[in-house]
Amino acid sequence: MSALPVACLLGPTASGKTAAALAFAARHPVEIVSVDSALVYREMDIGTAKPSAEERAAAPHHLIDIIDPADAYSAAQFRADALRLAGEIVARGNVPLLVGGTMLYYKALTQGLNDLPSADAEVRAALDADAARDGWPALHARLAEVDPQTAARLAPNDSQRIQRALEVFMLSGKPMSALLAAPRIQDREAPYRFVPVALEPSDRAVLHKRIEARFDAMLAHGFIDEVRALRARGDLDLSMPSMRCVGYRQAWEYLDGACGYNEMRDKGIFATRQLCKRQLTWLRAMPERVVVDCCAGDATERVVEAVERILGR
pLDDT tens-digit series, residues 56-96: 999 999 999 999 999 989 888 999 999 999 999 999 999 99
229 and 43 in contact (C-beta within 8 Å)? yes
Residue 184: pLDDT band (50, 70, 90) is low
| Of 258, 263, 202, residue with least CA distance to 231 | 258
Residue 207: pLDDT band (50, 70, 90) is very high
Per the prediction, the chain carries an average pLDDT of: 93
| Of 5, 53, 9, residue with least CA distance to 299 | 9
User: At residue 136, does pLDDT exceed 70?
Assistant: yes
- HSE at residue 310, side-chain half, CA atoms within 13 A, is 27
Report the pLDDT value the prediction gives residue 154, as an integer from 0 to 100: 92
Write out the CATH class of domain 4-113+186-311.
Answer: alpha beta
- Residue numbers in the known binding site for substrate are 13-18
Report the pLDDT value the prediction gives residue 27, as an integer from 0 to 100: 96
Tell me the backbone φ, ψ of residue 4, rounded to 5 degrees. -75, 125
Report the pLDDT value the prediction gives residue 189, as an integer from 0 to 100: 55
Q: Compute the distance between CA of residue 111 and CA of residue 151 in angstroms, rounded to an integer.
A: 24
215 and 268 in contact (C-beta within 8 Å)? yes
Q: What is the tens place of the pLDDT at every residue in 254-309?
A: 999 999 999 999 999 999 999 999 999 999 999 899 999 999 999 999 999 999 99
Predicted TM-score (pTM) of this structure:
0.82
Report the pLDDT value the prediction gives residue 160, as an integer from 0 to 100: 87
The 3-state DSSP class for residue 143 equals helix
| Of 73, 75, 106, residue with least CA distance to 6 | 106
Q: Compute the distance between CA of residue 252 and CA of residue 242 in angstroms, rounded to an integer.
A: 12
28 and 313 in contact (C-beta within 8 Å)? yes
Residue 182: pLDDT band (50, 70, 90) is confident
- Residue numbers in the known binding site are 11-18
- Residue numbers in the known binding site for ATP are 11-18
Report the pLDDT value the prediction gives residue 186, as an integer from 0 to 100: 59
C-alpha 159, offset from chain centre: 18
> Where are the CATH 1.10.20.140 domain residues in the chain?
121-181
Q: What is the tens place of the pLDDT at every residue in 1-55?
A: 578 999 999 999 999 999 999 999 999 999 999 999 999 999 999 999 999 999 9
Instruction: Choose the CATH number for 121-181 among 1.10.3720.10, 2.102.10.10, 1.10.20.140, 3.40.50.1100.
Output: 1.10.20.140
Q: 10 Å Cβ neighbour count for 161?
A: 16
> Where are the CATH 3.40.50.300 domain residues in the chain?
4-113+186-311
* E-state strands within 55-169: 61-62, 95-100
Amino acid in position 10: L
Report the pLDDT value the prediction gives residue 179, as an integer from 0 to 100: 85
* DSSP string computed for 25-52: HTTS-EEEEEE-TTTTBTT--TTTTPPP
Residue 117: pLDDT band (50, 70, 90) is confident
Q: What is the tens place of the pLDDT at every residue in 158-181?
A: 898 999 999 999 988 989 998 888
